[in-house]
Amino acid sequence: MAWVSLAMPRRRLLAAARAEFADRGYAAATVIRIAERAGGSVQTLYNDWGNKRNLLQAVMESAVTGDDEVPMVAGQPPPVMTATLDPADAIDPRRLLAHLSHQYRMLAERAAVGWQAYRDGAAIAPEIAADWQRISEMRREAFGVMFAGLPARSLRAGLTQAQAVDTAWVIASPETHHQLVRQLGYDDDQLEDRVHATLSAALLRGD
């Protein structure tokens, strides 16, 4: 994907696109209004980005990585998730789940607009549904990397590492955020606490 020109800085454009998706959803968002919000020309936006789908992808990438300039990498957790992880915590199941629950909460704060836009867009656009499926698969792969160092003896009896990855992928998900925060009104602290408690109960052996 091409970088935007100097006439429309990338950071400002992504902020404009994020605001447009937040206000109107994917279907009703327009490239024209995004360009107006960013203070640039529609033609420049089209030349550099091509379409609204590419803008949504960029908004999501910046949310996942925590950096407007860093793309998502398939099969790897975003650096923002691993940079603060102490090596000792990576092999301690309880500390790892506490870390992951906090990072999930932080990601949810950044990505809520993108998650909702993809949810809405997938219902009307097959290409957005395909992109959303790819992002979901990348998220599962990232859990696999994060769980690679967990000792099997720390998991609940009969639970394989692959099953643990699948379980965490389901619990710490955009759907959980949507249901707890958007539908039930949980705040961010409550979301983190509930996800942490549920992950611990679902994955780990009792003391």
**142 and 195 fall within a common domain:** yes
pLDDT tens digits, the chain, 207 residues: what are they? 333 444 467 888 899 999 999 999 999 999 999 999 988 888 888 888 889 999 999 999 999 988 777 777 777 888 888 888 888 888 899 999 999 999 999 999 999 999 999 999 999 999 999 999 999 999 999 999 999 888 889 999 999 999 999 999 999 999 999 999 999 999 999 999 999 999 999 999 876
Let me know whether 54 and 116 are in one domain: no
- Host domain of residue 49: 1-71
CA atoms of 11 and 16, how far apart (whole Å): 9
Residue 200 and residue 128 in one domain: yes
* Residue 19, domain CATH: 1.10.357.10
- The domain boundary, picked from 28, 47, 71, lies at 71
**What is the pTM for the complete model shown?**
0.87
Number of domain units in the chain: 2
Tokens of 149: 């160092």
Looking at the fold, whether 79 and 51 belong to one and the same domain comes out as: no
In a shared domain, residues 28 and 12? yes
